[in-house]
């Protein structure tokens, strides 16, 4: 990433910091803290993180930063919805661990055509080395297969595995909010070798793509809180666009 892009990313972070955090990140601090605790202390999650870190492609904006945040939001959604359904703690924590694992693995084949399908196949191979049941492996793979936007997902018979799939999708699409403008955009700009003027030309088209995701959230929590996360990102994106127009 060159100095110009670095400076732009820092400016984008300054702009984002002036915007209030979306409600999801304020309302669900407790489930999020639980997700974070599992992410940093659960043995299988730590081992998987160490395994996938060198395989994730930071250059495409889909490295550990992205994958860990997808898993943390997926695990948070799982916790929120299972607590509401009064499911016992052990089952909640197990599905949260699978959510974190699905997040870490979902973009493992990001560089390939049909990366959701390729990632699902790869995830099955990786998880076979871990103490995870066959049914759990299949459900993580299905969630990864289902994570592409604007496709029809394959449904699960078991509500818990359906929640795993829906929460992975929503955790991934939450990233289309402010993370697009503080993180992904600059990695893509760097990867594609764009100048600021070229970025300006592509910007309106990119923004219209972001807005289309609003109607696609799948979990109850995602449908409720996802649109505001996207609106928050779009507001930040508009300010970044103005900054680019004024300075380049
Ligand atoms: Fe993906
Ligand atoms: Fe992703």
**CA of 176, nearest ligand number:** 2
For residues 224-235, give the mean pLDDT.
97
Domains of the chain: total: 1
Percent of the chain whose pLDDT exceeds 90: 94
From residue 104, how far is each of 53, 95, 110, 215 by CA, in Å? 9, 14, 12, 25
Please give the distance, rounded to the nearest whole angstrom, from the Cα atom of residue 207 to the centre of ligand 1. 18
User: Is-contact 94 44, C-beta < 8 A?
Assistant: no
For the chain, what is the mean pLDDT? 96
Please give the distance, rounded to the nearest whole angstrom, from the Cα atom of residue 127 to the centre of ligand 2. 18
pLDDT score of 24: 98
Please give the distance, rounded to the nearest whole angstrom, from the Cα atom of residue 58 to the centre of ligand 2. 12
31, two tokens: 């489930």
pLDDT score of 124: 98
User: Is-contact 143 163, C-beta < 8 A?
Assistant: no
Q: Which domain holds residue 102?
A: 3-247
Residue 239 has pLDDT above 80, yes or no: yes
pLDDT score of 59: 66
Please give the distance, rounded to the nearest whole angstrom, from the Cα atom of residue 91 to the centre of ligand 2. 25
The span from the CA of 129 to the CA of 119, in Å, is 16
**CATH code for the domain of 116:** 1.10.3210.10
**CA of 146, nearest ligand number:** 1
Per-residue pLDDT tens over the stretch 188-220: 999 999 999 999 999 999 999 899 999 999 999
Please give the distance, rounded to the nearest whole angstrom, from the Cα atom of residue 21 to the centre of ligand 1. 24
Please give the distance, rounded to the nearest whole angstrom, from the Cα atom of residue 70 to the centre of ligand 1. 10
**CA of 117, nearest ligand number:** 1
Kindly indicate the confidence band of residue 1, based on its pLDDT and cuts at 50, 70 and 90: confident
Per-residue pLDDT tens over the stretch 76-131: 999 999 999 999 999 999 999 999 999 999 999 998 999 999 999 999 999 999 99
**CA of 66, nearest ligand number:** 2
Entry pTM = 0.96
Per-residue pLDDT tens over the stretch 19-58: 999 999 999 999 999 999 999 999 999 999 999 999 987 7
**CA of 148, nearest ligand number:** 1
**CA of 171, nearest ligand number:** 2
């Amino acid at each position: 990433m060159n100095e110009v892009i670095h400076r732009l990313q820092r400016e984008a972070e300054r702009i984002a910091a002036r915007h209030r955090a979306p409600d999801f990140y304020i309302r669900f601090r407790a489930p999020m803290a639980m997700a974070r605790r599992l992410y940093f202390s659960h043995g299988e999650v730590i081992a998987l993180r160490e395994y996938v870190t060198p395989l994730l492609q930071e250059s495409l904006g889909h490295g550990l930063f992205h994958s860990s945040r997808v898993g943390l939001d997926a695990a948070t959604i799982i916790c929120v919805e299972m607590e509401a359904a009064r499911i016992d703690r052990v089952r909640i924590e197990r599905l949260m661990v699978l959510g974190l694992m699905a997040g870490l693995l979902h973009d493992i084949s990001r560089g390939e055509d049909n990366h959701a399908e390729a990632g699902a196949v790869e995830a099955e191979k990786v998880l076979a080395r871990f103490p995870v049941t066959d049914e759990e492996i299949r459900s993580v793979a299905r969630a990864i297969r289902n994570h592409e936007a604007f496709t029809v997902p394959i449904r699960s018979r078991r509500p818990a595995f359906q929640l795993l799939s829906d929460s992975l999708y929503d955790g991934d699409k939450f990233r289309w909010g402010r993370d697009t403008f503080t993180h992904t955009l600059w990695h893509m700009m760097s990867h594609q070798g764009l100048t600021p003027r070229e970025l300006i030309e592509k910007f309106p088209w990119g923004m219209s793509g972001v807005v289309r995701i609003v109607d696609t959230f799948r979990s109850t929590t995602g449908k409720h809180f996802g649109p505001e996360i996207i609106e928050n990102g779009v507001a930040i994106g508009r300010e970044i666009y103005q900054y680019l127009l004024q300075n380049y």
